[in-house]
Structure 1
């Protein structure tokens, strides 16, 4: 019952589907292919570095608000080497945040004012819409159509208006695994050329692109880079989602606005974790091998489900696999996901959760960031459905 003392700012928003399905998985003893976290540990070099810095005097107090300088410098070097762009200035263009989630919220809080419109390409991570609304902004949803979830740039152009403050992109895309191309970035830059619209580019799965494709960052297109906040996540890159360390790269004027919010949101991020990440970031092997590492898991999972009644959609990146279940059931996707968890012992995410209006296309999302034996056991159960 609503409290007479409080009117909710998000009355239509309940507990995140990721928490709901993970809790159901725990209650049922199901294999959790729902929430997007690995069931294996971070690299040994990283955990050993964390232990080392946790035992170092002086590494237990607040880090500088923008992040440790040595970590920001390592991010700068990595970004320049990986994308062939001028190295972002560690002092004025890089901010370490409490996960990419905090970075995303800080960007929205910094730039979106009441009445501003924010274009969201949907399906989209369930944080986007509520975070926009909490700033008084108006989400403007543009659909990405199955099965390939490619942007229709004509629809995006039609959604632009004088009130469009920000446009959000996510590549590689959660939940579909679609990847934006260099041509997509060029087209987007052309659409925004004569506007004052800013871009938030969610690139947390930047190192998970398959089949020999590169990841194209907004940083690589000069016209986009000058108006973009680019977000990434160490949690995704180093199998350490519980560490909650991410970062935002943006031009100095935009970074200044993000930091105005960041200093009052979390102020600083775990000091020992930042030192540990700075130690290992200089070694490129971890993120350079991720495409092969996760492509193996995608291909293994695809092969294991070959004889199932699920129809898998193309997955170009990230660590998610979408599937149709129309040959199994005509239930809505939430009901099917819950029944699959209870009766077959495999938890998944209904894709309608990624739509503001719960649009149901009969799709579910698997996370394949799991040990091979976990995927094999899950597939055995799924093939019996």
Structure 2
């Protein structure tokens, strides 16, 4: 650990919650340098929906590398890119009645958001972007302007302009549809809210605290955008690629966004990869107008194609995610009912779930105790008050139950303020370790 203390920046964050040196990972497990095994309910902050080192993808990636496949190609046409685009179009887009142009910006989520915002502004000739309370869209300056979290915004060092923030679904209470407020301010030339180029929204706010918008609210939001000729951008970076049960998190609402941003689990294997889906008539970029040296990761094209072909050719994987999501919801509801006493609520959709605690201190104690028992799980929300569940979608039923058992025991101990089980207890038998 000495080298990390000596020369790594103080900006590190996850390493503070999980102070171990990790050496190996497979499926839903990660291992530290002392051989201790952990269940991973963080999964790269939603990047590893298909688990660590998925063997189905690893073989295809290794074959590609052994054949000296293109590693870096700027935006040149490559076989890997072409095959990914064909698979994505035939297996994901066409069956859903969706038609989009695909743009490959830099390889991270914030790169995709920056491209989406820039394109919306160029196409409409307007500057303002509507974003929402508790939204998170990245920490580069353009996307940071649409991010709500004060901790991240405060590090910008400059004024963050070009965005107006409005209340998200149920932010003002369960009985208030905040899209009515949006419609009102856009209809009133004296509201002080400039007519925007676009509205950017997460259907489930991950970093903001697992706030899930209702299908009705999303449909109303789309109607308001259409009424005022405003583009609708869905940020599906964390909630997409199956996390809510469908490939896209907006599918069950029936909306059709003008622009969609994807990253995180898009590449399947944890490789950096981002994409912007653009309504065809909006693809008004001039050649090279938005670029980046690492736009389009050819290794990620290979594993992204494998993920689509292995898991999304039919609806069986989607059904399994929803089944597991229902199980998680029932378990969390039971934990809240048994130990809550008004301090906890459960929230989320599909396998994107959380326990909302009365404050961040309680949530932090729960995740700390869980880690001591062999579970990696983090918090989110404005005050880190939500215990956030992001386990791989491919997790076995046995390990899903085991992880939830650990969380329940951690909640029990925190609520009782006593350690009924020693912190060093490992919930897993050595015999089950992967050699």
TM-score (norm 2): 0.64
**Residue aligning to 1:381:** 410
153, 158, 180: which one aligns with 1:154: 180
Distance 1:128 1:180 in 2: 26
Alpha-carbon deviation of 1:351?
1.5
CA distances 1:192-224 after superposition (whole Å, capped 9, x unpaired): 2343422211124242336x9995449965xx5
In the other structure, the counterpart of 2:86 is: 73
- Where does residue 324 of structure 1 map in the other structure? 357
Pairing 1:251–2:279 present: yes
Question: Does 1:201 pair with 2:209?
Answer: no
Q: Which residue of 1 aligns with 2:199?
A: 167
2:166 alignment partner, one of 110, 126, 141:
141
Aligned counterparts of 1:380 and 1:143: Cα–Cα separation in 2: 33
After TM superposition, list the pairs within 5 Å mapping 1:64-103 onto structure 2. Answer: 64=75, 68-85=81-98, 87-88=99-100, 93-97=101-105, 98-103=107-112
Q: CA offset at residue 382 of structure 1?
A: 1.9
Partner of 1:308: 339
Distance 1:323 1:171 in 2: 18
Q: How many Å separate the matches in 2 of 1:43 and 1:76?
A: 23
Bigger relative CO (Cα 8 Å, ≥ 6 apart): 1
Distance 1:319 1:123, change over 3 A: same
**Residue pair 2:379, 2:388 contacting (<8 A) in 1 also:** yes
CA contact (8 A) 1:115 1:137 kept: no
Shift of the 149–353 alpha-carbon distance from structure 1 to 2, 3 Å rule, reads farther
Q: Are 1:25 and 2:17 matched, yes or no?
A: yes
Aligned equivalents of 1:377 and 1:366: distance in 2? Answer: 14
Q: What is the RMSD of the two structures over their aligned residues, measured on CA atoms?
A: 4.2
User: What's the TM-score, normalizing by structure 1?
Assistant: 0.71
Could you tell me whether the CA contact under 8 Å between 1:112 and 1:132 is conserved in 2? Answer: no
Larger Cα-atom Rg:
2
Question: Deviation above 6 Å: which 4+ runs of structure 1?
Answer: 28-32, 147-150
CA distance, structure 2, for counterparts of residue 171 and residue 340 of structure 1: 27
Cα distance in 2 between the residues matched to 1:32 and 1:189? 36
Query: Unaligned 5+ residue runs, structure 1?
Result: 1-14, 326-331, 355-362
CA 1:257–1:76 in 2, change beyond 3 Å: closer, same or farther?
same
Q: Counterparts in 2 of 1:95-134, with a 5 A limit?
A: 95-97=103-105, 98-112=107-121, 116-125=127-136, 127=138, 130=141, 131=143, 133=145
Maintained 8 Å contact 1:117/1:140:
no
Q: State the partner residue of 2:28.
A: none
Supply the distance in 2 between the matched residues of 1:217 and 1:149 (Cα, whole angstroms): 24
Match of 2:322 in 1: 291
Deviation at 1:27, TM superposition (A): 3.2
1:256 positional shift = 4.1
The structure-2 alpha-carbon separation of the partners of 1:110 and 1:124, relative to structure 1 and needing over 3 Å to count, comes to: same
Q: What is the deviation of 1:248?
A: 1.6
Q: 1:307: Cα distance to partner?
A: 3.0
